[in-house]
Amino acid sequence: MSTLRTAPATRAAATRRIAVINSNSSASVTAQLADTLTPVLREGTEAHFMNPEEGPAGIDTLLDVAISGVHTAELVRQWSDDFDAFVVACGNDPGLAAAREVTNRPVVGIAEAGILQACAMGARFSVAVLAPGKIPGMRALVRGYGLEGRLASIVPARSSSRAASTSPDELLAQLIEACMGLGDEELGDTLVLTGSVMGRIAPRLSQAISRPVVSGLLAGVRMAETLADAHITQTSTTHDLPQEDS
């Protein structure tokens, strides 16, 4: 397991400890997430960024989601007593239900958090994904969260997990082009970037398409910080998982 840590100047200054789990096995992506989030952590947040040692280095298929979900839930189980909240930092929310089953600490998925934030910002939202092949899975995820009625569209880039992590400018250009080809009704009031590596392009994309863009990564961390401050514990229970469209 690769772990990076960002913390207040002194341990006594820490008011909350959160674990941000990159569900893929890429240490370089974990480092990117730390670089993106460290400047915007709330005062007093001690954040640990980690990823599993095994599993896919990028999450692009349903098999990747399934395998990474097991490793993600196992990390939550392993570190359950050490953190006030956990963030599943992957746009597919892999293993989210299972992770919530193995701890009584809050576990936040960045896709769910980003979508919920978008719902507070307007009547309808759209979601960006890395490739057309990810559209059915994202639609199933939104449906599983009970929010398909507020989904305006799913906007695909022409990328992959690896390409998005190494070429953010290319990803930005692809999403700008895709968004410009849609009307206001198709884009909705807000665009959600569920993917963790997408978070760093949110401000530039928002400026380019003239509408709010929610970083699911930042939304997830903010929700985790809030839940940690509230000292909320959750009841470990079984959650129904959204099913893939046939």
**Domains assigned to the chain:** 2-109+219-229 (3.40.50.12500), 111-217 (3.40.50.12500)
Write the pLDDT tens digit of every residue in 213-234.
Answer: 999 999 999 999 999 999 877 7
Write the pLDDT tens digit of every residue in 52-107.
Answer: 999 999 999 999 999 999 999 999 999 999 999 999 999 999 999 999 999 999 99
Burial 31-68 (b: 16+ CB within 10 A, else e): ebbbebbeeebeeebbbbbbbbeebbbbbbeeebbebb
pLDDT confidence of residue 2: 61
What string of DSSP letters covers the chain?
A: -EEEEE--SSGGG--EEEEEE-SSS-HHHHHHHHHHHGGGPPTTEEEEEEE-SSS-SS--SHHHHHHHHHHHHHHHHHTTTT-SEEEE-STT-TTHHHHHHS-SS-EEEHHHHHHHHHHTT-S-EEEEESSGGGHHHHHHHHHHTT-GGGEEEEEE-S--HHHHHH-HHHHHHHHHHHHHTS-HHHH-SEEEE-SGGGGGGHHHHHHHHTS-EEEHHHHHHHHHHHHHHTT--------PPPPPP-
**Rounded to whole angstroms, how far apart are CA atoms 105 and 232?**
7
Write the pLDDT tens digit of every residue in 113-158.
Answer: 999 999 999 999 999 999 999 999 999 999 999 999 999 999 999 9
Global pTM?
Answer: 0.90
Contact indicator for 228, 220 with CB cutoff of 8 Å: no
